[in-house]
Amino acid sequence: MSRSLKAICEAIGVEYAGADRQIDGIATLAEAGPNDLSFFHNEKYRKDLPRTKAAAVLVEERFASELPDSSIALITDEPYLKLALATALFAHRMSTASEAPRLAGECEIDPSARFGKNVTIGAGTVIMAGTYVGDDCVIGENCLIHPNVTLYHGSRIGDRCILHSGCVIGSDGYGFAHTRDGRHVKFYQLGNAILGDDVEVGANTTVDRGALGDTVVGSGTKIDNQVQIGHNCRLGENCLIVSQTGLSGSTVLGRNVVMGGQSATAGHLQIGDFATLAARCAATKSLEGGKVYAGVPAMDIRLWRRQQAALMRLAKKKK
């Protein structure tokens, strides 16, 4: 889906009088190519400004000089809001159109399952009643899709995956820009959700699609029931995510991370390889791997135990 830069600027209310060019998509500063629109609104990513390959960047005037000569500066004092408006121009067009999926071999598919366009399914996969598979989805070999699973458009499922009833893969991430008068503008989610091989997803769990890049679940990861995986999260291989856990957007888990029941992370954090978060633990900052954490905010579990013991002693003294 390609649009002219001038047409985009007119649609989102940004002034631009330079030469026109075609824009094929929207991406982050670091990932944008020479035909992409990007944006800058967070100091955390300032280092990416001079290195971006984006065709054009929505940016405040005070940062425009840091862009390379190859990138057009689109000056605005609300770059994130303008980008949200632009995402609507590139959003997948939803449709009720349906066609038979392409099968790579013998599969067992319940007649009540429904498919969008351009769906591919690997040999040996079983799809049970009430499942919906959206446009451009790919499901690998020997998967088991239980009843009433929903795969939004563009989702990718590896080989030997098990998706339990009611789980939703590729739903929209929770993304909104805010106007100065308090209205919330939808940031259309343009990425996909990708599951590696041997992933199991529990009942009524949601794995949101990425906002611009993809949400990725590494091979061998097992996710329990009623878990929320936010947009742009990246889970390493062989993680264990226990029920009612919530990962905020852009959380990165290393390999073999264990998250106990009702644990959580704030957004844009990194949890190192082989870290364990105990039940109801909440990570408010990035955590080193190879350790066990507990409490709110998350701390080394040995410190947490001493803290709990000290509180108990204090409570007993007050009786």
Task: Please state, in angstroms and as integers, the Cα–Cα distance from residue 43 to each residue in 57, 60, 62, following that order.
Answer: 15, 12, 12
Q: What is the mean predicted confidence (pLDDT) over 209-223?
A: 97
Tell whether 111 and 86 lie within a shared domain: no
Helix H or strand E encompassing 36? strand 36-39
pLDDT of residue 240: 98
Tell whether 257 and 178 lie within a shared domain: yes
Could you tell me if residue 207 is inside a domain?
Answer: yes
Q: What is the mean predicted confidence (pLDDT) over 208-219?
A: 96
Q: Taking a C-beta distance cutoff of 8 angstroms, is the pair 273, 254 a contact?
A: yes
Buried b (16+ CB within 10 A) or exposed e, 181-190: eeeebebbbb
**Which CATH number does the domain housing residue 79 bear?**
3.40.1390.10
Task: Please state, in angstroms and as integers, the Cα–Cα distance from residue 214 to each residue in 42, 266, 310, following that order.
Answer: 20, 18, 44
pLDDT of residue 1: 75
Q: What is the DSSP string of 205-272?
A: -EEEPPSSS-EEE-TT-EE-SS-EE-TT-EE-TT-EE-TT-EE-TT-EE-TT-EE-TT-EE-TT-EE-
Q: What is the mean predicted confidence (pLDDT) over 65-94?
A: 96
- Under DSSP, is residue 121 helix (H, G, I), strand (E, B) or coil? strand
Could you tell me if residue 118 is inside a domain?
Answer: yes
> Angle 79-90/5-12 helices, nearest 10 degrees?
120
Structure tokens at 194: 């990708």
pLDDT of residue 21: 93
Q: pLDDT digit string (tens) for 90-121? A: 999 999 999 999 999 999 999 999 999 999 99
- Domain total in the chain: 2
Q: Choose, from 41, 153, 231, 268, the residue flagged as catalytic.
A: 231
- The residue segments making up the domain with residue 64 are 3-90
Could you tell me if residue 77 is inside a domain?
Answer: yes
Q: Residue 193 carries which side chain, given as an amino acid letter?
A: A
Tell whether 166 and 222 lie within a shared domain: yes
Query: What's the mean pLDDT when you consider all of the chain?
Result: 96
Q: Please report which confidence band the pLDDT of residue 318 belongs to, taking 50, 70 and 90 as the band edges.
A: low
Residue 43: pLDDT over 90: no
pLDDT of residue 102: 97
Could you tell me if residue 107 is inside a domain?
Answer: yes
Q: pLDDT digit string (tens) for 124-169? A: 999 999 999 999 999 999 999 999 999 999 999 999 999 999 999 9
Could you tell me if residue 309 is inside a domain?
Answer: no
pLDDT of residue 42: 87
State percent of the chain over pLDDT 70.
99
The residue out of 60, 90, 120 marking a domain boundary is: 90
pLDDT of residue 133: 98
Whole-structure pTM value: 0.93
Tell whether 274 and 296 lie within a shared domain: yes
Q: Find, among 94, 100, 129, 96, the residue nearest to 112 by Cα.
A: 129
Q: Residue 166 carries which side chain, given as an amino acid letter?
A: G
pLDDT of residue 319: 63
Say whether 231 is catalytic. Answer: yes
Could you tell me if residue 213 is inside a domain?
Answer: yes
